[in-house]
Homo-oligomer: A and B are copies of this chain.
Amino acid sequence: MDTILLAVAAGGIGLIAAALLAMRVLKQPQGNDEVRDIGALIQEGSSAFLRKEYSILALFVLVIFVILAAFIDYNVLNNDMINSLAQGGAVTSDGPWTAIAYVIGAIGSGLAGFIGMNIAVRGNTRTATAAQSGLNKALQVAFSTGAVMGLTVVGIGIIGVSALWIIFENPNVIAGFGFGASSIALFARVGGGIYTKAADVGADLVGKVEAGLDEDDPRNPAVIADNVGDNVGDVAGMGADLFESYVGSIIATISLAFLGIASGASYSLEDPKAVLPIVIAGIGIISSILGMFLVRTGDNADMGKLLWTLRYGIFGAGGLALIGTGLYINSQEALGFDLFWVVVVGIIVGQVIGTSTEWFTSYEGLKIGSWEFNPVKWIAQQSETGHPSTIIAGISVGLYSTVIPALAIVVGIFLANELAGLYGIGLAAVGMLSTLGITLATDAYGPVADNAGGIAEQAHLDPDVRERTDSLDALGNTTAATGKGFAIGSAVLTALALLVAYSLVTGVTTLDLLEPKVLMGTVIGGLLPFLFSGLTMQAVGTAAGEMIEEVRRQFREIPGLKEGKPGVKPDAARAVAISTQGSLKAMVIPGLVAILAPIAIGSIMGAEALGGMLAGSIVSGFLLAIFMANAGGAWDNAKKFVELGNFGGKGSDTHAAAVTGDTVGDPFKDTSGPAINILLKLMAIVSLIFGPLFI
């Protein structure tokens, strides 16, 4: 109990640090009137989106609350399995506690998204203004803004899980918390992802290609929507995704510790294996805060130095977290030191996936002596022969970029299991995410810098400013790529750990692929990420189409807009509204698929088939997510590489082809790919909670 309370205290410290950072950011000068006006538009647009999203979500959460209370907590079907689990203490029976935990999880995730985004839409103008006085200053503001998001997520996450665990000491209740987090993540990631890419594609296709405007030209009606999109998609969406992974991995590991003990054995809150993930998370928070102090640079820093200053922070935090974890495990007699190595495995697997993602998506590539491996340059070169060549090259790069991450996961599963059995798979995920506070900060800072650049452009600030924000943004793209690798890797391990927990809860102890039911489930599971990605891609296509029509209409109907007549402004609010409506409408079907699929398969085909379905979805979803994220990232940077003056540079035919790749890559890497993470975790947690009903 005391140890857990210390972890809660670490969460509290994280939240306090977040508040202090937020105050520091808000104290920075906001900039001139033009900057403020643009900032206000982005704030309004973001808030409007969140308000609409949360009002839809409130209804959704209410429905699920009732279902959980009825079928799980009060067991109205009088399901035997749930009765027996209730006797064993694995589900509640004396109140709607799972349902309430669900609501708390939803609120926690929503709150983290709300806080993170609200500070992000205030940090952007301040970063643009700070960039007027130098690179280091701008980095500090942008990074602090990202750090607020990072620390809020981990602080709320650990306090929520720990408090519920102390109060109820029941794995089903904390699973409810995870389900709540997943529900919000689904809508935030999918809705936000569709929003941001519909706006981005719309802004690019009409603004840049048809009207010949530059990126972020203030005449483009979709530019504000595009800036809003960075915040709702890349800040709030990413935050919700990782909040879900973070709490999901802790919950799965606790469940494995609880359910793994022989039935009938006495069990206490303080079971060292159940406490361990909470402690690791607590140590990680403190380490993250300390690591943040390492992030600072001189004013003449180049890209390399900037990247290294972030890496110092991340590696420093990782090193501290490992030392702390090692000391803790060593101090506990009941825990073998092997568990420490499991945490190391988790961190290394995350790093390998992140680094592989970096190789495949950056034009620095991998150099060993004179041998160079550079898929991004190859894509750029292929663009010389036209649009189709760009696409073919990017797809082939994306497809074979799955090899290293898949092998890393395979080796990770092997080592984690050798060291600590299936419990190790959950613990490895916890290890991978232990320093999420700082890794998420480096992720979330990217869109802030991106926004700052857009604001600088629209407010006609000095070109130097844009140059500085651009180098921050470029750095953000690299850290975002690594972050995506982490997000996918942790999602897979979390989902696998939840699958194991599912098998323990339901008593389905084998999932035999030679059993037709399991095989059928596996095929269906494999199918779901394909269906889900198809739906989200189509949603982006449709929503972008509406945006394109609107932008064209404004250019046609607002006199003087295209020509840039002074005083003529686009109707940005209308474009924002279209993106908001389009994305929220479009997320309904994919959302229902994710929640109903496990329930449908479980009810119709039984618990074994559902287990097969989860496994199938994890395997195919993992690969598809990596494929999409890396193809998208590689296209993005291939375009940037051409824009640096290679293969004809900006304005050449090669550039046009590279832009096509980048535009296709946008929904790949920012909508469909990341949405798969949510799908996997959400289906696993839905199965874990409803599983007993299918026995």
A interface with B by C-beta (< 8 Å): 201, 205, 209, 382, 385-389, 391-393, 395-403, 406-407, 409-410, 413-414, 417, 422, 496, 499-500, 503, 509-514, 516, 518-520, 522-524, 526-527, 530-531, 533-535, 537-538, 540-541, 544-545, 548, 611-612, 615-616, 619-620, 622-623, 627, 659-660, 663-664, 667
Contact = CB atoms under 8 A, between A and B. Distances in A.
Residue of A401, A519, A538 with most chain B CB atoms under a 10 A cut-off: A519
A537 B392 contact: yes
Majority-rule SS of A interface residues: helix
A278 to B, nearest CB: 25
A518 B518 CA distance: 14
A531 B413 CA distance: 21
For this chain, the copies found in one complex come to: 2
A514 B500 contact: yes
A132 to B, nearest CB: 35
A514 B522 contact: no
Residue of A397, A520, A544 with most chain B CB atoms under a 10 A cut-off: A520
Contact of A520 (B403, B413, B500): B413
Contacts of A516: 413-414, 417, 422
B392 A619 contact: no
A303 B205 CA distance: 38
Given A385-B548, A514-B511, A615-B519, A392 B530 contact: no
Given A398-B534, A512-B511, A520-B413, A406 B527 contact: yes
A399 B531 contact: yes
A514 B422 contact: yes
Given A205-B388, A397-B534, A402-B531, 14 more contacts: A386-B663, A387-B387, A389-B545, A396-B535, A402-B527, A413-B519, A413-B520, A414-B516, A499-B514, A513-B518, A513-B611, A513-B612, A523-B622, A526-B619
Contact of A541 (B201, B382, B510, B540): B382
A407 B525 CA distance: 11
Contacts of A417: 516
26 contacts: A205-B386, A205-B389, A388-B663, A391-B660, A392-B537, A395-B664, A396-B533, A396-B535, A396-B541, A399-B531, A403-B527, A403-B531, A406-B523, A409-B523, A413-B519, A510-B512, A511-B514, A512-B513, A522-B619, A526-B620, A526-B622, A530-B623, A619-B619, A620-B620, A620-B623, A660-B660
